[in-house]
Amino acid sequence: GRSSRWSLHPRSFHHLSLLHTTMKLSLALATLAVGGASAFSVNQNGGLRTSTQLNVFRQPIMAGNWKMNPTTESDALNLAIGFCALVDTLEDTCGLDESETCTEVVLFPPFPFISKVKDIVQEKGITVGAQQVYYEDKGAFTGSVAASMVKSVGCEYVLCGHSERRTLFSDSDVNINAKVKKVLEFGMKPILCIGETQEEYDLGITEEVCAMQVSKDLAGVSKKDLENVVLAYEPVWAIGTGLVCDAEDANKVHKFIRTVLAKMYDEEAAQSIRIQYGGSVTPESVDGLMAMSDIDGCLVGGASLFSDKFARICNFKAAEE
């Protein structure tokens, strides 16, 4: 239902290339759906429904991705201290492997700050993670960090496939898949990030892009290992732009992702996995997002650099069903 941007536009050749990509994605999805009812069927109201509704409780998870911020160690430690001071006022936060009735909180500081930030936040039950790793165990890979290294300093989670790693550092699906499996091998939990660009959104191929990324990035990951994977849907056009995908639209994508997982694994796996939303999440938008049935948490960027904002996000107030 979006207007065409093809005719006599100076970027016509680029759009033709995207159209070719769309056709390839559609063919790949058709192949994936062979051998039974398609996992990608849309029902009358435009939402997506799984074939069997399971009564599964998914523990909320809020993650703060500091990216390449703040600029000094002292600023990083002050940020951690400030957030911890506010955590005492939050009734429903907890750490990894604690009660599933509370909200799990994870921080992703830059590599140099991980250890000292962990020392500050662990007493509050907050977990730390690494923003990325390389898929090799060791060797002549200047500037890279191995999974064993971040594991040894206390990381429980690792971001894999963040859009900035995909676009700025050319992280391919093959490499992301290798990183996901390496993180699992070392007993940590990957947060696998997927999502469409602005151009892909404008072309109406959000579902195709997400399905392809999930299929490629989880290739070779067993159902048992999937229990330790968190997904994060992050529409690239909403990251750092101040734009937020409408909560209901985001929820539809999350539902669709579960249909992909049901086809790859089964309905139980699809309904059990936690799927975060990421993309300019704010204290003002979090309640609406977390009121949605299939949004299990948020991957927060800019707002996580402000103690009060991130504390409010972690202490979301979802509407009653």
Active site residues: 162, 234
Cα(130)–Cα(153) distance, integer angstroms: 10
Residues ≥6 apart with Cβ < 8 Å to 68? 110
Residue environment code for 123-141, b if the CB has 16+ CB neighbours within 10 A, otherwise e: ebbbbbbbbbbbbeeeeee
Apex 68 CA angle, 65 and 71, nearest 5: 120
R_g of the chain, CA atoms, integer Å? 19
Q: At what angle do helices 73-87 and 307-314 cross, to 10 degrees?
A: 40
Cα(288)–Cα(306) distance, integer angstroms: 20
3-state class of 224 per DSSP?
Answer: helix
Q: At what angle do helices 114-121 and 73-87 cross, to 10 degrees?
A: 20
Residues ≥6 apart with Cβ < 8 Å to 50? 255, 258, 259, 262, 267, 270, 271
Residue with tokens 């994977």: 229
Residues ≥6 apart with Cβ < 8 Å to 29? 40, 208, 211, 212
Q: How do beta strands 103-108 and 61-65 pair?
A: parallel
